[in-house]
Amino acid sequence: MSGSPRSLAAAALLLAGLAAACATYPTAPRHLFQPIGEEQRAMALAAWQDALRRADSLPPSRLLYDAKFGQGHARISGTLAVVVTPENVKATATGLFGSTLAQYENGALRVNGRDPLFLEPELLRGALAGVWRGGPPTLAGSEGRDCLLRWNENTKGIVAEAVLDAAAARLESLRVTGAHGEVFVVFSGAFDPWPQVVELSDLRSGQSLRLKRVAIEPIRE
């Protein structure tokens, strides 16, 4: 293979850019789902009820995360402080020496100098708790211990699907499509009881947010 130094340099930059763009998105195991049998359907529904009970048990809390914001090549690291209550969710990200990096308000996380990352309160609260509250799901398939759950909320214009580890009664991933875009969420680490690591990406804007939980403080009334 031959080419001018300029064309080779341009190709290298293009490949680097593509690699950086791909690294923006969280990854989850690939699945080949098959029709689900009655026995596995019953097990999946029971596991989903267990997952909801765990989320229901979470008290109003202050949570602190190591946060990494990404878009294209750029990455910004900071700390995200979140207050979650049944009525509301608030979040502020700070950087070095307490400088404000981002503020969550009106359904969007607004990072300084970037387009907003649209996360409706229902989605952000669900992602932090590791569930999706869209009513009873449709069981769309299974592969081993993993089951595919789907919700189609026509009145809200929202379509969601999640991969549930039925043996562990916890979500592996969640994908929600609505008016503002398509958000993909991957969960990893322990659920004790809040998920330890939550990675979100907006598949339309290319923005991403990786959260690693470092502290929890229940809010006592």
pLDDT digits (tens, 9 = 90+) for 89-135: 999 999 988 899 999 988 999 888 778 888 999 999 999 999 999 88
Q: What average pLDDT does the segment 185-212 reach?
A: 94
The reported pLDDT for the residue numbered 79 is 96
Question: Which of residues 24 and 130 earns the better pLDDT score?
Answer: 130
* Half-sphere exposure (Cβ direction) of 79: Cα atoms closer than 13 Å: 12
pLDDT at residue 1 is higher than 50: no
Return all residues near 87 (Cβ < 8 A) that are at least 6 apart.
Answer: none
The reported pLDDT for the residue numbered 213 is 97
Domains along the sequence of the chain with CATH: 5-218 (2.50.20)
